[in-house]
Amino acid sequence: MKASEKSPVNFQWNDWYEAVGGRKIQIDEVDALLNKIYNDQYLRFHGEIAEKKTAFHSPEEAAELIKIKALEFGADMVGICRIEPTDIYKGREVAHTFAIAVGQKMLWRNFQVVPSQESAIECVRVYYTLGETVIKIAEFIRSLGYDCSIEHPIGDSDLLHIPIGLKAGFGELGRHGSIIHPVHGPLFRMGSVATSIPLACDTPIDAGIADFCDKCRACRIYCPANAIPDERSKSGGKDHLGNDRYMVDTGKCFPYFANHYYCSACLPVCVYNHKEWARDFEGHATTSFPLVVFENAPLPADTVAEDKKHFYPKNNRDKPVEIPAGKHHLDKTSKI
């Protein structure tokens, strides 16, 4: 299946980094994890398919077995949807019909200060562990005699993780542009496996989260780059409920992200289900709200060629960054 004419281009990491003067985040643990992802996991994307095909009585039976296995392999959430051309990045093709979407939580204890080295490592750690999960699901599907392809959570995938996650029933789209799960909140990462085994699909949900976002502005206030919008965008397309989408200003977000440990501040400050995921589940001392580091935002980067970037509105370009209570300014003595 080919991508739709309306599909966005895949995020062009190299062009975006070039627009902000190159990659600057240097953390040994992150480099080690990235090395394992690119030099070990990527090599395990393909494998032998068993000659004998396992027969299933129904798509429901096949879906149930694969979901049980996905949870066994480390997923915290799993859902299934049919792939459509709009779920595929421009210029890419996907040979399969169904996507098995999986998500894995990031640990709240590592987002006590954002952005920070700890939060950066946690983001990449979950890219790695969820990478293991999708590889194991793919190996299992091949052992049943069926082909499949891996859509790794780290980025260079053919499928757009967010529309797939929404259709697979993971949650609703938040003002910060990430999916909010009704139980787990937004602090998780997603990946998927595409296959053509006939599978029963899940359905998108309406749990009132999008309505809640219309009244809450926590991520908007705590975004150190002022990149999150006040209003839904009339030009950014619709979410699965038919609402205009909230569109983050990538030209403002990316320079902050690239200079400040992949930022991610909008996720742990999200108040949706905050109390649930802020609990101290395993005896670790945690606070109920993160300390957000506010530093002067770099200049916006709008120099990536138009045909290499997706649409984003220029949000709050003329407004100074709001300084909420609980914020933290970096100074020369800060060690984050």
Selection from 226, 234, 218 nearest residue 294 by Cα: 226
Task: Identify the residue among 152, 176, 181, 245 touching ligand SF4 (CB under 6 A).
Answer: 176
Residue in 98, 272, 277, 312 binding ligand SF4, rule: CB under 6 A: 272
Residue 14 contacts by C-beta under 8 Å, 6 or more apart in sequence?
none
Q: In the bound complex, what is the minimum distance in angstroms from residue 221's beta carbon to ligand SF4?
A: 9
Q: Which is nearer to ligand SF4, 216 or 241 (CB)?
A: 216
Q: Angle 140-132-35 (CA atoms, 0-180°, nearest 5)?
A: 140
CB of 144 to ligand SF4, least distance (A): 38
For every residue of 271-314, DSSP letters joined together read -TTHHHHTS-TTS----SSPEEEE-PPPPP---S-GGGS-----
Number of H helices and number of E strands within the chain?
9, 9
Interface with ligand SF4 by CB under 6 A: which range of 35-43, 61-69, 170-178, 299-307? 170-178
Q: Please say whether the beta carbons of 80 and 199 come within 8 A.
A: yes
- φ, ψ for residue 167, nearest 5 deg: -70, -30
166 is an interface residue for ligand SF4 by CB under 6 A: no
What tokens appear for 106 in the block?
A: 């990031």
- CA 262 to chain CA mean position, Å: 12
Asked if 327 interacts with ligand SF4 (CB under 6 A), we say no
Residue range at the interface with ligand SF4 (CB under 6 A); choices 6-14, 40-48, 102-110, 209-217: 209-217
CA separation for the pair 29, 169 (Å, rounded): 33
Does residue 217 bind ligand SF4 (CB under 6 A)? Answer: yes
Select the residue interacting with ligand SF4 from 27, 65, 207, 271 (CB under 6 A): 271
Q: Is there binding between residue 187 and ligand SF4 (CB under 6 A)?
A: no
Interacting span for ligand SF4 (CB under 6 A) from 21-29, 49-57, 82-90, 216-224: 216-224
Q: Of 104-112, 118-126, 140-148, 220-228, which part binds ligand SF4 (CB under 6 A)?
A: 220-228
Give the residue, chosen from 63, 213, 258, 278, that forms a contact with ligand SF4 under the rule CB under 6 A: 213
- Interface pick for ligand SF4 out of 71, 107, 216, 321 (rule CB under 6 A): 216
List, in sequence order, the alpha helices (H) in 86-160: 117-143
Q: Is the CB of 137 or the CB of 213 nearer to ligand SF4?
A: 213
Cα dihedral across residues 111, 116, 122, 124: positive or negative? positive
Binding residue for ligand SF4, selected from 33, 166, 270, 293, defined by CB under 6 A: 270
**Residues 186/174, Cβ–Cβ less than 8 Å:** yes
Q: Which parts of this chain interact with ligand SF4 (CB under 6 A)? A: 174-176, 212-213, 216-219, 223-225, 227-228, 248, 253, 256-257, 263-266, 270-272
